[in-house]
Amino acid sequence: EDQVTQSPEALRLQEGESSSLNCSYTVSGLRGLFWYRQDPGKGPEFLFTLYSAGEEKEKERLKATLTKKESFLHITAPKPEDSATYLCAVQAGVGSGGYQKVTFGIGTKLQVIP
Amino acid sequence: KAGVTQTPRYLIKTRGQQVTLSCSPISGHRSVSWYQQTPGQGLQFLFEYFSETQRNKGNFPGRFSGRQFSNSRSEMNVSTLELGDSALYLCASSLRQGAEAFFGQGTRLTVV
């Protein structure tokens, strides 16, 4: 069964203090790894898609990287507005209908303190 | 470009009742997925529809069902509601299978 584990569950940073969030996965036949940001009471907002090991993508203070077993979301000099829950999801394997399915991690709740 | 629209935003139902939630995807998106989100379990996949056909189904009881119409709009139905069905139900649309998903604001269902 596909598994996606995110760590840490919660992270508290001072404004400007860079850090990384981890997403490790155990799946058969990874087709894509997605990062989302979710604010309280809202639906997840798409950030990045990574398809193959070694791939990197950047957006403002965020940079996502992918290896064969995990992905990292690096946050450089975070600001309070970066506070949110960050979700990782993988598309792999085959679901009940014969098509690939998406599995989400529990998420990392990030709090950036001014 | 309008985003994914879910209605209603909030719903309170009594145990044993049934409920229907609606999702209008982004124009041109043909894939619609439904998720249940609870604090302890995170996002749990319910089902995915593409061109009116259910392509995948998660590990939920048969009380949870869905459908997709020819205009790609989708509905999900939960019958014989239980207290444990209280959750945020999220709908996501994609241009195609495997592409990034765009989520709606969700429907907050409370079962009392």
Instruction: Using the predicted structure, report yes or no on whether residue A17 has a pLDDT greater than 80.
Output: yes
CB contact under 8 A, A97 and B100: no
Can you read off the two tokens belonging to residue B7?
């209605």
Instruction: Using the predicted structure, report yes or no on whether residue B35 has a pLDDT greater than 90.
Output: yes
CA angle A28-A33-A38, nearest 5°?
135
Segment A30-48, tens digit of pLDDT:
889 999 999 998 999 999 9
CB contact under 8 A, A102 and B97: no
Instruction: Using the predicted structure, report yes or no on whether residue B103 has a pLDDT greater than 90.
Output: yes
Query: Most distant CA pair in chain A: distance in Å?
Result: 48
Instruction: For B111, list phi and psi in degrees, rounded to 5.
Output: -110, 125
Segment A66-109, tens digit of pLDDT:
999 999 999 999 999 999 999 999 988 666 556 677 889 999 99
**Chain A nearest C-alpha distance from B104 (Å):** 6
d(CA B24, CA B7): 9
Instruction: Using the predicted structure, report yes or no on whether residue B57 has a pLDDT greater than 70.
Output: yes
Instruction: Using the predicted structure, report yes or no on whether residue B1 has a pLDDT greater than 90.
Output: no
Is B1 or A22 the better-scoring residue by pLDDT? A22
**Among candidates B43, B54, B57 on the partner chain, residue whose Cβ is nearest the Cβ of A87:** B43
Q: CB contact, 8 Å: B33 with chain A?
A: yes
pLDDT for the residue A93:
67
Its sign, for the CA torsion A35, B9, B76, B53, is: negative
Q: CB contact, 8 Å: B54 with chain A?
A: yes
Least-confidence region, from A56-60, A81-85, B77-81, B96-100:
B96-100
Taking contacts as CB-CB distances below 8 angstroms, the residues of chain A near B97 are 99-100
